[in-house]
C-alpha cells in the first residue's frame, strides 16, 4: 500500500468484507454485501483495482480466484486517521478531539472516560514494548 492511498466507498466495502472473511471468492464476497448486491462483474472489477493498488492478492484454484487482503485493517485505519488529522486538523489531536466532542455532544463524563481509556491503552503498549 502506498502512503496516502485512499479507497473509494466501493473499494472500502469490499475490503471490509475481506478483512472479516480473511479470504474469499468473488461470489463469497458478493454474498456478504448488502442488498441491492452489485453484479459479480462489478465485484470482480473492484477486486482487480484493489489488486493493482496493492491491497489484495489472489490465488487461482482452477478457474476460481481466491482473494486475500495484503493490507491489515489497522494499517489502513491508521493511515486514514493520520491523513485526517494532518489535512483537516493541522496535525492537532486536541483540535480533532474537540471537534468530534462538540459535533457529537459528548458529556464531560464521556470525555473523562475517553481520557482514562486512552491512558490505559498507552500504558499497556508501553508495558508490551
Query: Domain limits of the chain?
Result: 1-89, 92-129
- Nearest alpha carbon to residue 106 among 96, 118, 117, 98: 98
Per DSSP (E only), the strands in the chain are: 56-61, 64-69
- Residue-wise pLDDT for 106-123, tens only, equals 888 988 898 899 899 889
Q: Given this model, what pLDDT does residue 52 score? A: 95
- Residue-wise pLDDT for 35-74, tens only, equals 999 999 999 999 999 999 999 999 999 999 999 999 999 9
Q: How far is CA 128 from CA 72, 73, 117, 119, in A?
A: 20, 21, 17, 14
Is the pLDDT confidence value at 2 over 70?
no
Q: Which fold has domain 1-89?
A: Arc Repressor Mutant, subunit A (1.10.10)
Q: Given this model, what pLDDT does residue 100 score? A: 86
Q: What's the chain's average pLDDT?
A: 92
DSSP 3-state assignment of 3?
Answer: coil
Q: Quick one: angle between helices 9-21 and 40-52, nearest 10?
A: 90
Q: Given this model, what pLDDT does residue 89 score? A: 92
Q: Given this model, what pLDDT does residue 83 score? A: 87
Q: Given this model, what pLDDT does residue 69 score? A: 98
Give the count of beta carbons closer than 10 Å to the beta carbon of residue 88. Answer: 12
Give the count of beta carbons closer than 10 Å to the beta carbon of residue 125. Answer: 9
Residues 11 and 43: their CA atoms lie apart, in Å, by 9
Amino acid at each position: 500500500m502506498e502512503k496516502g492511498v485512499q479507497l473509494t466507498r466501493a473499494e472500502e466495502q469490499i475490503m471490509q468484507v475481506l478483512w472479516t472473511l480473511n479470504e474469499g471468492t468473488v461470489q463469497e464476497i458478493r454474498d456478504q454485501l448488502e442488498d441491492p448486491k452489485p453484479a459479480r462483474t462489478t465485484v470482480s472489477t473492484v477486486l482487480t483495482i484493489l489488486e493493482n493498488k496493492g491491497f489484495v492478492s489472489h490465488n487461482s484454484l482452477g478457474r476460481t480466484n481466491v482473494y486475500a487482503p495484503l493490507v491489515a485493517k489497522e494499517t489502513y485505519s491508521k493511515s486514514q486517521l493520520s491523513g485526517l488529522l494532518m489535512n483537516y486538523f493541522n496535525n492537532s489531536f486536541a483540535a480533532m478531539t474537540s471537534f468530534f466532542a462538540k459535533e457529537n455532544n459528548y458529556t464531560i463524563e464521556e470525555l473523562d472516560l475517553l481520557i482514562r481509556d486512552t491512558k490505559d491503552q498507552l500504558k499497556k503498549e508501553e508495558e508490551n514494548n
